[in-house]
Structure formats: C-alpha cells, structure tokens
Amino acid sequence: MQNMSFHYGVHDLEIVSKFVYLGAVFSAGGSFSEAQCTLARQSLKALFKINKYLHKITYIDIRHYELFDKLVLPILNYGCEVWGCHPGKAVERLHVQFCKQLLGVKKNPQNEFVYGELGRMPLRNTRYYALVNF
C-alpha cells in the first residue's frame, strides 16, 4: 500500500490526506468535518471584521443580524449542496455564538431559547433547503 503510484498522462499524482478544490476541503476518509471546520475558521475572520465595526456603535440592535446573513452566512454555507446532510457542529457553533453575543447573554442559555428570542432557526434548515433545491 505504501508503494502505490498513480499516473495521469505523463504526470505522477501525489497521494494526499486532504484536498482543497474551489475552497471546499475533501478528506481521504470522506468526512466533511474538516471542510466545515475550515469554513468556520474562514467565516470567523468575517465575524471579527463585523465586530470591529460594531464595536464603534454604542447600541447594537437585533437588526444588525442582517450583517451576519449578508457577510458571514454565505461563507458558512459554501458548498452546502455537497455536505448539507452532515450535522455541521462547527458551523452551528459559530452561528449560536454570534446570536448569544448579539443578545448579550452568557454561554449558558439553551440554544433553542436564543433562536426563539431572535426568531431564527438552526442553519441546518437552510442547508437542507439548499440541498433539496440543488
């Protein structure tokens, strides 16, 4: 198994444990958890940028949630047509983290209460919708 080699035309193909194609990470085991962690890290950069600008505003309203939908959510759901059936714990964690920060509560309240207060639903519902449309 160690000496396996693959060729494409005259080129030797390298065997790798994960492969990035169009921003999506594909692992050798077929799990999408690495892809979701990568998307969560990338969207965290956008979230820090939002927080940088929101820090200058003294009053943060629930309407600022639209910034999350426009700037961070497309990054979090990138390629969800491929990995949408996976639970996406890293993606959901980042979403709930922002919701709790927006409400100004600690990390203890249950996620369902936070979603209910904001009138939101978990992101997996959005992913399932995109998956079915695809």
User: How many separate domains does the chain show?
Assistant: 1
Q: Pull the structure tokens for residue 5.
A: 């080699």
**Does residue 90 have a pLDDT over 60?**
yes
**Does residue 16 have a pLDDT over 60?**
yes
**Residue 6: inside a domain:** no
Predicted confidence at residue 58, as pLDDT, reads 63
The torsion of the CA quartet 45, 26, 124, 129, rounded to 10 degrees, works out to 110
Task: Give the pLDDT confidence of 91-100 residue by residue, as tens digits.
Answer: 888 888 888 8
Q: Which residue has the higher pLDDT, 46 or 28?
A: 46
Q: Please, what is the average pLDDT of the chain?
A: 79
| Cα distance between residue 81 and residue 115, in whole Å | 24
**Residue 18: inside a domain:** no
Range 47-73 average pLDDT: 75
Is the whole-model pTM more than 0.95?
A: no
Predicted confidence at residue 98, as pLDDT, reads 84
Which single residue is written with the structure tokens 């505003």?
57
Q: Which residue has the higher pLDDT, 14 or 61?
A: 14
**Residue 3: inside a domain:** no
Domain of 68, in residue numbers: 31-133
Predicted confidence at residue 60, as pLDDT, reads 65
**Residue 114: inside a domain:** yes
**Does residue 26 have a pLDDT over 80?**
no
Q: What angle do CA 11, 17, 23 make, to 5 degrees?
A: 85
